[in-house]
Chain A
Amino acid sequence: MKLMTLAALALVFSPAAFAAKETKSSLNIGEARIFAPLKGSNATAGYGTFINTTDKEVSVTIEKADPFKAVEMHETVEKDGRMAMQKVEKLTIPAKGSVDLKPGGNHIMLFDPNREVKAEETLKVTLKVNGKSETYDFKVIPRVKPEGHHHH
């Protein structure tokens, strides 16, 4: 019994356990998704909820997303009754807060994939969180849900 407690304590205080706690990301992304690119267009969009798990502001910039040639963050804004887009260099996620990347607002823009990207794939997107590169999984989803799966 004593031995087991010791073993458990050793495990808790082991460097590995500490390391795991330290590398825990300050940013989580909920519903990370990218729309499968369409023929006739070289641009598609990605969305998700960026959640700051820390009690300090977190800055996020976008680095890369293979196999896309370029990736940027943009915001859709209404200008003179028209919908316009402007590039966003950096997102700031408030302490313990979140920023929703959603249609008609902030979004990730991805250009010119160098291979065909299909629905159901998972792509790696690299973001810079407080200047540190971190990779997140984004699921590729179809623009129109296939027959038999459509939403009601």
Chain B
Amino acid sequence: MMLHLPCYSLAECPFRFYIQTMKSLKKQMLIAFFAGVLALAALGAGLWFSQQGPRMGGDFSLIHEGATWIFSEHAKPLNLLYVGYAKCPDVCPMALSFSAQAFKMLTSKEAARVQLIFISVDTKNDTAESVSIYAKQFNPEFIGLTGTQEAIDLAIKPFGATYMVEENPKSYLGYSIAHTDRIFILNKKGIVVDSISSPRSADEIAQKIKENL
């Protein structure tokens, strides 16, 4: 049995010190090699994910006509989501009426696989009942939802939708709500697969629905 005493300097045992140094160098190179492979793999995965786009969205729970409405329980293969408020005179009703026109361009088979969800962020003025009545006038199948401010914030955040209530003392209404003007297209899991910014047309919405169905 050989006793391996460590060598601390070149003067003590020159040959063994050389071997030891080489061994540790090899180990370091091996570690460096694997670290390199890992870094490349991470870079590749990162590139792949960035090509896929960010995975926005998810499940949410709000109120529909006085009852809890959970997305995952009502999800269709394709779901259009719009965030706004009922007293919005311009962008919201245009988005909803163009969507309603687009739904008319679908075959009955296609229409059965898609739904539109309108979330009102106006907790002070819209109720679950009034927003449902509002949405149904565009298309009897449109779903109008609202909830507490906390529930709304929690629901819309994963989609990157935002809003801001602005006081407007010069207007009869006294306020207006600045909000994201985008139709999000969600899959059955609530993940955003596409979106439509404004200005948009009924034809464009119908085409996007058909593309994603």
Q: A interface vs B, CB < 8 Å? A: 35, 38-45, 69-70, 72, 74, 76, 79-87, 103-104, 107, 109-112, 143-145, 150-152
Contact A151 B202 (CB under 8 A): yes
Closest CB of chain A to B177's CB: distance in Å? 8
**Residue B91 interfacial (CB < 8 Å):** yes
**Residue B148 interfacial (CB < 8 Å):** no
Closest CB of chain A to B170's CB: distance in Å? 5
Select from chain B the residue with minimum beta-carbon distance to A106: B90
Select from chain A the residue with minimum beta-carbon distance to B122: A41
Please pick, from B104, B138, B172, B178, the residue contacting A72 in the complex, using a CB distance under 8 A: B172
Q: Which of B132, B171, B179 has the most CB of A within 10 A?
A: B171
| Chain A residue contacts of B65, Cβ below 8 A | none
**Residue B86 interfacial (CB < 8 Å):** yes
Q: Which of A40, A70, A79 has the most CB of B within 10 A?
A: A40
Contact A144 B162 (CB under 8 A): no
| Chain B residue contacts of A86, Cβ below 8 A | 168
Closest CB of chain B to A141's CB: distance in Å? 11
Secondary structure at the B interface, as helix, strand, loop or mixed, is mixed
Closest CB of chain B to A47's CB: distance in Å? 9
| Chain B residue contacts of A110, Cβ below 8 A | 89
**Residue B130 interfacial (CB < 8 Å):** yes
| Chain B residue contacts of A150, Cβ below 8 A | 101, 104
Between-chain CB contacts (< 8 Å), 23 pairs: A38-B134, A40-B86, A40-B133, A40-B134, A41-B134, A42-B87, A69-B172, A79-B178, A82-B179, A83-B181, A83-B198, A85-B178, A87-B168, A104-B90, A104-B94, A109-B171, A111-B173, A112-B172, A143-B93, A143-B100, A143-B138, A144-B100, A144-B137
Contact B134 A39 (CB under 8 A): yes
Please pick, from B89, B90, B130, B162, the residue contacting A40 in the complex, using a CB distance under 8 A: B130
Select from chain B the residue with minimum beta-carbon distance to A36: B137
Q: How far is the CA of A38 from the CA of B137 in the complex (A)?
A: 7
How many chain B residues touch A (Cβ–Cβ < 8 Å)? 42
10 tightest A-B CB contacts, nearest first: A40-B134, A84-B178, A70-B172, A45-B89, A83-B181, A82-B178, A40-B130, A41-B86, A85-B176, A103-B94
| Chain A residue contacts of B176, Cβ below 8 A | 84-85
Contact A72 B171 (CB under 8 A): yes
Contact B90 A39 (CB under 8 A): no
Please pick, from B93, B170, B181, the residue contacting A82 in the complex, using a CB distance under 8 A: B181
Q: How far is the CA of A74 from the CA of B162 in the complex (A)?
A: 21
| Chain B residue contacts of A40, Cβ below 8 A | 86, 126, 130-135, 137, 144
Closest CB of chain A to B101's CB: distance in Å? 6
| Chain B residue contacts of A69, Cβ below 8 A | 172
- From 47 to 70 in chain B, residues with beta carbon under 8 angstroms from any chain A beta carbon are none
Contact A43 B89 (CB under 8 A): yes
Q: How far is the CA of A76 from the CA of B110 in the complex (A)?
A: 33
| Chain A residue contacts of B115, Cβ below 8 A | none
